[in-house]
Amino acid sequence: MAITKETLRSSIYNTIYTHINNNVSDPMNRQKQWIFSSYPEYTASNFIGYPIIVINKVELDKSFEVFDNDYSEKTIPLVITVFSTKASIVDALSDSIDVAMLLPIDKALTNSDYSEQEGQLIVGKKPVHYRIQKYIMGVNLWAILNLE
């Protein structure tokens, strides 16, 4: 899916989702959705179980409303969180995501910075490990506008 000015949020999210889905393997080899845009309802009967990956929706600031000659690239935060009942799986998936984020994603997107935070929470009386991976993505506006 090409990233366009009219569909920035959804097309950037869909591009990242597809990229992660194509380059990070489910360690459980499930044939079901295991990457989400928000934390799924873990008590639902159709909850797939862990591990899961959550890619937050894309946040754009007001500067994206202005496409002009002064700014050919703007940045956005991209937050991807891995959840698992096993810390070793969180580590392995986080490594796979890092490798995927180093691969070419789209002519309009580049990975320019990274930070992370990890921890553990109790979900339904069970410990769940997590790692929040925050990437700062460069968005090339000229590529989006096909002016490159």
Under a CB-based contact definition with an 8 Å cutoff, are residues 144 and 106 in contact?
no
Residue 99 has pLDDT above 90, yes or no: yes
Residue range 114-142: average pLDDT?
92
Residue range 80-109: average pLDDT?
94
- This prediction's pTM: 0.88
Round to whole Å and give the CA distance between 72 and 88: 40
Under a CB-based contact definition with an 8 Å cutoff, are residues 148 and 129 in contact?
no
Under a CB-based contact definition with an 8 Å cutoff, are residues 133 and 44 in contact?
no
The first and second tokens of residue 133, run together, are 């991976």
Peptide bond between residue 51 and the one before it cis (omega within 30 degrees of 0): yes
Residue 136 three-state SS: strand
| Topology of domain 5-144, CATH | Alpha-Beta Plaits (3.30.70)
Domain ranges of the chain: 5-144
